[in-house]
């Protein structure tokens, strides 16, 4: 359960970074629209139910990633915690987001370099937030 909470809190940081970039005009879409591209047609990802589907996908994945990150720390220790968090966030971006979602996003949502950079920065924020919230959890557990 603690990993779920860590993942959800880190997701909130990632989503905040994405939303601020969206409001600043650096990207045309929010994350929940991007995650819904994996399972919905293009015309549905901008609709409220499509965004809800994307939210459920994102929240489920982020909660799972939080659990996995705590297991990583359990077996590798908390040394270099910030580097592990950042690396985990970047691995998440490269493995899940760019590789798995990328082809679906490319077909359904117009992308440019600025929008892609927003996703990279947001995933870096996600990884660092995972490290931060894991640190808080580990300090309380001791």
Mean pLDDT of the 82-107 span? 86
Helices (DSSP H) in 24-112: which residue ranges? 31-36, 48-76, 81-92, 102-108
Residue 5 has pLDDT above 70, yes or no: yes
Query: In which domain, by residue range, is 33 found?
Result: 2-141
Share of the chain above pLDDT 70, in %: 99
Number of domains forming the structure of the chain = 1
Q: What is the mean pLDDT of residues 53-67?
A: 95
When pLDDT is cut at 50, 70 and 90, the band that residue 135 belongs to is: very high
CB 97 within 8 A of CB 123: yes
Percent of all residues in the chain with a pLDDT value above 90, rounded to a whole number: 66
d(CA 34, CA 52): 12
Tokens of 114: 């600025």
Mean pLDDT of the chain: 91
């Amino acid at each position: 359960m603690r990993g779920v909470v860590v993942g959800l809190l880190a997701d909130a940081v990632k989503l905040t970074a994405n939303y601020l970039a969206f409001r600043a005009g650096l990207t045309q879409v929010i994350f929940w629209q991007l995650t819904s591209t994996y399972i919905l047609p293009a015309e549905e990802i901008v609709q409220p139910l499509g965004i809800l589907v994307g939210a459920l996908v994102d929240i489920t994945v982020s909660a799972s990633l939080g659990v996995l990150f705590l297991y990583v720390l359990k077996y590798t220790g908390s040394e270099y915690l910030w580097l592990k968090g950042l690396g985990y966030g970047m691995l998440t971006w490269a493995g899940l987001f760019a590789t798995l979602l990328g082809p679906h996003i490319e077909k359904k949502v117009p992308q440019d370099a600025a929008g892609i950079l927003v996703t990279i920065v947001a995933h870096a924020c996600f990884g660092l937030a995972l490290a931060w919230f894991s640190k808080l959890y580990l300090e309380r557990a001791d």
